[in-house]
Structure 1
Amino acid sequence: MPNTPLLVFDIETVPDVATGKRLYPDIRALPDDDALTALIALRHAEAGNDFMRLPLHKVACLSFLWFDQGSFNLKSLTLNEHSEDEILRIFLRAFAKKPTLISWNGAGFDLPVLLYRMTHHRLNAAALTNAGFKQNDYLNRYSEKHIDVMDRFTFGAWGNKQKLDTIASLCGFAGKGDVDGSQVVPMVQRGEWDKLANYCESDVLNTWLIYLRWLSVNGKITHDDESALIAHTYDFIGRLTDDDGNLRHQRFLDAWEL
């Protein structure tokens, strides 16, 4: 069985319009909605796409799966219920128990963005940045305290980078379904916070399942261990309900080739 506690996490982001206005004086006087449109257009002109530079991402949702001694806890923090500052503070509190972080492209995106946002809010991030010895350093690419599963599969070669949805499908897991990252900003604009959290949580669940497969492939757990943990995960997801009593991740369960 994997050493615990484990913290599997993922973030969804929107452009940081306030910082964008400071960076681009020509859009400073615009209303936020117009400034967002202008900021996206500027990024297209710079890079040919609307993927913002990492410091211009604002956390709209942070989802995490906490696994410790056989027990699961799946939770999402969104801007609908928390300020970004609060989301980051709650995330940092988790480091008191010194979990092992599990992510997909966390070293390339999630952790740098989170660190930039902590810098923006002047938060004490020592629990994340000052872990001590190199092998226990969350920010060290080769540390065992942060397993970026995508990076482990690619051997650190950027050209081998694969999408989470691709590897989830390869393994017979549920994948992302009909939602992708390009829909995050529209979901936030429409106030579809439950849909956003569900999407972010599905990424976390796929990352967890792929991590288990990676452990099995590398001989760190047995095939029977993997099967038992997968069955345990399936049972856990099958007991998660929303406020109306409906299964929270019905689509995920339906698409999962168990």
Structure 2
Amino acid sequence: MRLPILIFDIETLTDLKSGAHLYHLDLPEPALEAALTKLRRQETGMDFQRLPLHEIVCISGLGIDENGMMKLFSFSREQYSEAEILTRFLAIFDRKHPTLVSWNGSQFDIPVILYRAMYHGLSAPGLFDQGEIDQQKRYNNYQNRYHHRHVDLMDVMAMFNGRNFQKLDDMAHLLGFPGKRGDGAYHVPEYVKAQQWQQLTSYCEGDVLNTWLIYLRWLLLKGQLNHHDHGLWIQATIQYLKTQPQHADFLNVWHETSLQTVFTASDFSSPTS
């Protein structure tokens, strides 16, 4: 496994101000949101808004440094503006060059970060340079689909075939991990409106943790981890989560769901678990 590693996820809302500007709308907020949704349905038949109109309200990550130490973090609208969230996240790539791991990051998270960083006039060569500055990134950069500086697990596990794409929640459950827990609905708008910041960051970090556990299984499949080392990383993750009170529920649900498959049934059978 190539360290350091950064597993990440973003949460977004529709940027009503930009949407009003783009479509020349002069409406109060509730009517504006409804109008943007209606316009999008007319364009595509779906509610999912175009990527530049996704305003970032949270970026969460799990960093594993060169010594294998784990650290969960979140930058959210509780403390930072969108521009500040992006600035803090993008600064990671100026200091380090981690292997980036995501679920659907190449089609959603990274393009949204690109559009929103441009909107705020930010510079992020550490993430977006393709060899113009650092020639080593000419053929292996974070945008290259077929190299592993950025591993979009949804993409690589589908063999780069969109017909094979799977949902993160489904794959997590299939492999014996917690998934989204609860009713599985998308509650981000409600969290932000009610200023339930703990729920927002826990939700985003939960997706990060599921992605990390799937990534470990993918490395095992590819032979980049043997069974012994895979087990050590699973135990290290369990021990780390015991120090994170906000993820007690994630750990408890993992304990239960691990019993659903033969392979994960041993996750919590170790004396250190």
- TM interval, short-chain normalised: over 0.9
Letter in 2 for 1:200: C
Q: Distance in 2 between matches of 1:56 and 1:181?
A: 21
Compute the displacement of 1:129 (Å).
Answer: 1.2
Q: Distance in 1 between matches of 2:36 and 2:201?
A: 25
Q: Deviations for 1:38-94, whole angstroms, at most 9, x for unmatched residues?
A: 222322333232210111101011000110111011001111210110111111110
More off after superposition, 59-68 vs 189-198: 189-198
Mapping of residues 74-113 of structure 1, within 5 Å: 74-95=72-93, 96-113=95-112
Q: Which consecutive unaligned segments of at least 5 residues does structure 2 have?
A: 132-136, 259-266, 268-273
Counterpart for residue 218 of structure 2: 214
Counterpart for residue 196 of structure 1: 200
Q: Report the count of equivalent residues.
A: 249
Q: For the Cα contact (< 8 Å) 1:135–1:142, is it kept in 2?
A: no
Q: Deviations for 1:115-165, whole angstroms, at most 9, x for unmatched residues?
A: 000110111121111153344310111122101111110011011100001
Q: Percent of counterpart pairs with the same letter? A: 44
Counterpart for residue 16 of structure 2: 17
Q: Distance in 2 between matches of 1:232 and 1:62?
A: 23
Q: For the Cα contact (< 8 Å) 2:7–2:212, is it kept in 1?
A: yes
Q: For the Cα contact (< 8 Å) 1:55–1:117, is it kept in 2?
A: yes
Please tell me whether residue 160 in structure 1 is matched to residue 152 in structure 2.
no
More off after superposition, 185-194 vs 221-230: 185-194
Q: Distance in 2 between matches of 1:171 and 1:84?
A: 34
Q: Distance in 2 between matches of 1:72 and 1:131?
A: 28
Q: For the Cα contact (< 8 Å) 1:135–1:144, is it kept in 2?
A: no
Q: 2:29 aligns with which of 24, 28, 32?
A: 32
Q: For the Cα contact (< 8 Å) 2:130–2:139, is it kept in 1?
A: no
Q: Distance in 1 between matches of 2:150 and 2:121?
A: 23
Counterpart for residue 50 of structure 1: 47
Q: Distance in 1 between matches of 2:139 and 2:216?
A: 21
Q: For the Cα contact (< 8 Å) 1:134–1:143, is it kept in 2?
A: no
Counterpart for residue 271 of structure 2: none
Counterpart for residue 73 of structure 1: 71
The DSSP-based 3-state class of the residue aligned with 1:136 is coil
Q: Distance in 2 between matches of 1:181 and 1:104?
A: 18
Mapping of residues 127-206 of structure 1, within 5 Å: 127-132=126-131, 133-178=137-182, 180=184, 182-206=186-210
More off after superposition, 128-137 vs 154-163: 128-137
Q: Distance in 2 between matches of 1:75 and 1:48?
A: 36
Q: Distance in 1 between matches of 2:142 and 2:216?
A: 20
Alpha carbons of 1:193 and 1:179: their partners in 2 closer, same or farther (altered >3 Å)?
farther
Q: Distance in 1 between matches of 2:63 and 2:185?
A: 23
Q: Distance in 2 between matches of 1:180 and 1:139?
A: 30
More off after superposition, 48-57 vs 130-139: 130-139
Q: Distance in 2 between matches of 1:50 and 1:186?
A: 17
Compute the displacement of 1:191 (Å).
Answer: 1.4
Letter in 1 for 2:84: E
Could you tell me the TM-score, scaled by structure 1's length?
Answer: 0.92
Could you tell me the TM-score, scaled by structure 2's length?
Answer: 0.87
Alpha carbons of 1:143 and 1:135: their partners in 2 closer, same or farther (altered >3 Å)?
farther
Q: Distance in 2 between matches of 1:12 and 1:180?
A: 15
Q: Which consecutive unaligned segments of at least 5 residues does structure 1 have?
A: 241-246
- Root-mean-square deviation (CA), in Å? 1.4
